[in-house]
Amino acid sequence: MKTAESYTLITGASMGLGKEMAIECARRGRNLLLVALPGRNLKQLCEELEYNFGIKASYRECDLTNEEVLNELVADILSKFRINQLINNAGIGGTARFEEASTEYLDKIIHLNIRATTMLTRLLIPELKTHPEAMIMNIASVAAFGPLPFKTIYPASKAFIYSFSRSLSRELRGTGIRVVVVTPGPIVTNTDVAMRIISQGFLCRIGLLTAGKITCMALNGAARGREVIVPGMINKLNRFLMRWMPENWTLSLMSGVIQKEINMNTKAKDQL
């Protein structure tokens, strides 16, 4: 039987930005439906959110890169929940030479970052339209604004999410569904990630923000009606520079920064 209450669906909700989104949405009184891979302690997170904030929280464990599983997930959701907000947060990336990356790894980025977001959005639009006000929030990246050597597929996938979101926003005007795209820069999710980003140099360090701060900026910006949210002044500046600087300049600059990360990773492996 379908619930009477409305829920916010968040993908990739077990850690990092997705988990912070779940916590902050619960703090703001939203019921939650959290989705992540199996074995990520979603049951415990839901119980904590219900206890701490008095909301209702449910979860589903699945691999969104599997087409059949994704379709089954949506069918299950639509039969049991009223969804008025969708936060497409699930995504993966990494740093590697394209020719050395496995085809399985590249395919997973494409399926999760692009296909899963696209299909989940498409399948849930009819449900979202049944609410007087609804929202789709897609998490892209400041990387969406320019190519990045040694990351290749990741910025391309986030450029897709940005363009997809902006186009869909215009298509859905007048339907009651707002489409918001968030383009965060470097995110502090744990100590190891923070140290890796800091090691990349000044250009990466200055844009560093915690997942909690990015979450508040994203949700507050959406509440004010903004459709494009670039968290942090430094990341806004980076967006401006990536848009107006000659592309060859930014390619050379970022190639050096990311090459440094690859060299450090190689050196660390050699020392093991």
Tens-digit pLDDT profile for residues 6-34: 999 999 999 999 999 999 999 999 999 99
In a domain, 1, yes or no: no
Residue 111 — pLDDT band, cuts 50, 70, 90? very high
Domains held by the chain: number: 1
Range of the domain at 142: 6-271
Helices marked H in 172-246: 191-199, 202-205, 211-223, 233-244
Q: Out of 4-18, 107-121, 210-224, 233-247, which region has the weakest mean confidence (pLDDT)?
A: 233-247
In a domain, 144, yes or no: yes
The string of DSSP letters for 115-146 reads IIHHHHHHHHHHHHTTSSSEEEEEE--GGGGS
Count of other CB atoms within 10 angstroms of residue 99: 5
In a domain, 240, yes or no: yes
255 three-state secondary structure: helix
Residue of 204, 91, 206 lying closest to 148 (CA atoms)? 204
Residue 191 — pLDDT band, cuts 50, 70, 90? very low
Question: Would you state the pLDDT for residue 188?
Answer: 62
Question: Would you state the pLDDT for residue 15?
Answer: 94
In a domain, 179, yes or no: yes
The CATH number given to whatever domain includes residue 241 is: 3.40.50.720
Question: Would you state the pLDDT for residue 250?
Answer: 66
Residue of 108, 185, 113, 105 lying closest to 143 (CA atoms)? 185
In a domain, 119, yes or no: yes
Would the pTM of this model clear 0.85, i.e. be above it?
A: yes
Judge whether residue 272 has pLDDT over 70: no
* Site of tokens 């100590």: 191
In a domain, 223, yes or no: yes
